[in-house]
Structure 1
Amino acid sequence: MLAVADSDSYLKWAACLLGDLPSGCVTELVVVRTPIAPSREQIVAAVNGRAGGPPPVLSARSVRRLAERTQPDVILVACTGPVVDVLVAEVLDDLRPRPVFVSGLPGISVPATEKAWLFRSGCDLFVVHSEREVAEFSEIASRLGGGGAIGLARLPFLRPEPAAPGGNRVVFATQAKVPKGREERERVLLSLAELAARRPDLDVVVKLRALEDERQTHNERFHYQRLWREMGEPGRLAFEAGSMQDQLQRAAGFVTVSSTAALEAIAMGVPSLVLRDFGVSAEMINLVFEGSDLLGTLDELAAGEFREASGAWCAANYFHPAAHNDWAGLLSGLVVSRPRVPARSLLDGPEHAAGRRRARLRVEVPPKMLRVGYRAKRRMRRYLRSLT
């Protein structure tokens, strides 16, 4: 299996998923060069000591040449939606023999979205991580058509490894997309600082997805560490990047607005809190936590009131029995049954050609050149508007 990732979160997911394959599978992991490709430090943290060392960052053409040379049975396209579509439909099209194309989503995918399915409808297997997600995406697939099989896998980084006893830190897992507003993010930081002041025995850590100068899967307009500096650092907080698992090993409590890391904390037995002060909705990416017993407030955070997740909720969301996982069996069947009818992408029509051209630029043009082009385009638009 050749795995291709394009960002920090997808790289971590791909590395873990490869690690869960049956013994005897030969795997290779690479990063395709895009504007959101992870830094060297992010790559090292994402693969977390994987055999073979950190994967190389390759151009799209180099990924194609690698696939032609190695002729993998399976290509795992662990990328953001538009990149999945253009790699499968164009960059890696017409490989002979045709590999099985697999894709998926690296974290919480509730509620399921049509967009996620459309971009990955050219893949033969779509991997999700809870029985609820399988049901929701199956409904979308039956309604829209296209695509291939939907397989269930436990999120590969949910290891049943309890945190070390006597943990002395509270870990706040940031999320790039939510909350969006500066004021909302400042409120989170102030509540964390209040907890640190009340509990001098605890180290309160803001676990960053990326440092200020690093890229991540989604842009973060108000970076927490920069905000803290601009606020004058009114309290005792630490800001750290690196492995979430390392942070949780020493944790007495965990908090987030919306992050897959909440599932890691549950798996490791760390009492947790998911903030609901900014709403519970699909837009806040925390709708899945309804009924989990983890939803709470900034006041509860400041008081250090963490809790355990509901057992019934866990069974329906990401902590199903291992015997229910069928993705590896489905994948083996697809490999054995070749030649076969490949999955049909729903984005093959001319109305989607412009979107594919933009996605192809992201994987073929060096990021620095692409940013120069985007800036020039914006300047030209402003100039033309000034003439009207």
Structure 2
Amino acid sequence: MKVLAVADSDSYLKWVASLLDDLPDGCVTDLAVVRTPIAPSPAQLAAAVGDRPVPPVLSARALRRAAERDKPEVIILACTGPVVDVLAADVLAGLRPRPVFVTGLPGISVPATEKAWLYRSGCDLFVVHSEREVAEFGEIAARLGGGGAVGLARLPFLRAAAGGRTKERVVFATQAKVPREREERERILLSLAALAERRPDLEVVVKLRALEDERQTHNERHHYQRLWRELGEPGRLSFAAGPMHEQLARAEGFVTVSSTAALEAIAQDVPLLVLEDFGVSAEMINLVFEGSSVLGTLGDLEQGDFRTASPAWCAANYFHPAGRDSWVALLTALVIGPFSPARSLMDGPEHAAARRRARLRVEVRPDLLRVGYRAKRRLTRYIVRR
């Protein structure tokens, strides 16, 4: 089986590079990044793929030419929703023979959303990572139609703890989207500093998703390292990027507001806290942790009061036995065929404008696209003032 995997951002690239390891022996895999404004930096590319060759960053046209030349039987679209849609429906449409299109989500996807399904409904297999996610997206698929099968895979980076390492740090995993407000992020930094003062034996590390000058899947308005400088660095914190598992290998405790890295901490037997001070909701992307026994407060963080996840919660959420995984079997059946290609729910005229915008993201050079966005904003402000 020949497989081409295409990513558009750092988090999706990390996910699909690991997901490829699930494929049976004998599969020939290739990895590429489609050029968009959120494409990973060279350092992010190298860190995301581990021992694999660093993938090329291709324009939409170059990606199409590569697919026509290599004729993959499977194309995995590991991209944000609008990019998945435009690649499957436009850029890579009409390939002969028609490949099986696979897509998925790289982390926690509870609650399942109609929007996530809508953008990916042109793909034949949709990969998620818990029994709960399979059930929720299955219900959406039955109600809305479109799309193909929903397959289960264990999150590929949930590795077991390595023994013999000194536990000497607390790791805070940032999230680009939440909390949104500057003041909320400052409260987290000050609580981390309070813990560092109380526990001088520990290094308190803010694990960044990306450095200030690097792009990531979601724009981060208030970058933690910049906020810390603007606060005058009132305490002893360190900041780091790079692989999460390297930080967790030396962690005595872990904290986040909402991050898939919380699952990595559970897998590595690192006690943790998921902060509930800013709410527990779909908007905060932490609703899935209800009933997990790891929700806590900034006050708990300052005291170093970390918790262990409930075994029952783990079994229902992301830590199912490997034998329950279904995505590779479903994919194999699709490749053997025959199968009816998925029907996209985005094919109607009401979505034509969204597709045009997505096409611009993958066809126009990011620097030119940013110039266009700035010009549009200036023109809008000028019209509003008049």
Do Structure 1 and Structure 2 share a fold, with TM-score over 0.5?
A: yes
Q: Residue in 2 aligned with 1:353?
A: 352
**Mapped contact 2:74–2:101 kept (Cα < 8 A):** yes
Q: Residue in 2 aligned with 1:380?
A: 379
d(CA) in 1 for partners of 2:340, 2:48: 35
**Mapped contact 1:167–1:252 kept (Cα < 8 A):** yes
Q: Residue in 2 aligned with 1:343?
A: 342
Helix, strand or coil at the partner of 1:27: strand
Q: Give the aligned residue type for 2:208.
A: L
Structure 1 residue 160, shift from structure 2 partner: 2.1
**Mapped contact 1:154–1:322 kept (Cα < 8 A):** yes
Structure 1 residue 49, shift from structure 2 partner: 2.4
Structure 1 residue 163, shift from structure 2 partner: 5.7
Q: Residue in 2 aligned with 1:323?
A: 323
Helix, strand or coil at the partner of 2:239: strand
Q: Give the aligned residue type for 1:114.
A: E
Q: Give the aligned residue type for 1:357.
A: R
Stretches of structure 2 lacking an aligned partner (at least 5 in a row): none
| Matches for 1:210-359 after TM superposition, within 5 Å | 210-338=210-338, 340-359=339-358
Structure 1 residue 23, shift from structure 2 partner: 1.4
**Mapped contact 2:171–2:254 kept (Cα < 8 A):** yes
**Mapped contact 1:112–1:136 kept (Cα < 8 A):** yes
Which deviations, in whole Å up to 9, do the C-alpha atoms of 1:103-131 show, x marking residues without a partner?
00000000000000000000000000000
Helix, strand or coil at the partner of 1:213: coil
Q: Residue in 2 aligned with 1:39?
A: 41
Give the TM-score normalised by structure 1: 0.98
Give the TM-score normalised by structure 2: 0.98
Helix, strand or coil at the partner of 1:150: strand
**Mapped contact 1:174–1:257 kept (Cα < 8 A):** yes
d(CA) in 1 for partners of 2:212, 2:112: 30
Helix, strand or coil at the partner of 1:291: coil
Matched, 1:97 2:75: no
d(CA) in 1 for partners of 2:141, 2:128: 13
Matched, 1:72 2:72: yes
Which deviations, in whole Å up to 9, do the C-alpha atoms of 1:303-343 show, x marking residues without a partner?
111111100000000000111001000000000014x3100
d(CA) in 2 for partners of 1:26, 1:182: 46
**Mapped contact 2:22–2:328 kept (Cα < 8 A):** no
**Mapped contact 1:163–1:269 kept (Cα < 8 A):** no
d(CA) in 2 for partners of 1:368, 1:39: 14
Coordinate RMSD, CA, aligned: 0.8
Q: Residue in 1 aligned with 2:22?
A: 20
d(CA) in 2 for partners of 1:215, 1:110: 25
Matched, 1:172 2:172: yes
**Mapped contact 1:193–1:235 kept (Cα < 8 A):** yes
Matched, 1:149 2:149: yes
d(CA) in 1 for partners of 2:79, 2:38: 10
The percentage of counterpart residues that share the same residue type is 76
Aligned length: 384
> Is the alpha carbon distance of 1:292 and 1:164 closer, same or farther for their aligned partners in structure 2, counting shifts above 3 Å?
farther
Structure 1 residue 161, shift from structure 2 partner: 3.2
Matched, 1:59 2:59: yes
Stretches of structure 1 lacking an aligned partner (at least 5 in a row): none
**Mapped contact 2:6–2:77 kept (Cα < 8 A):** yes
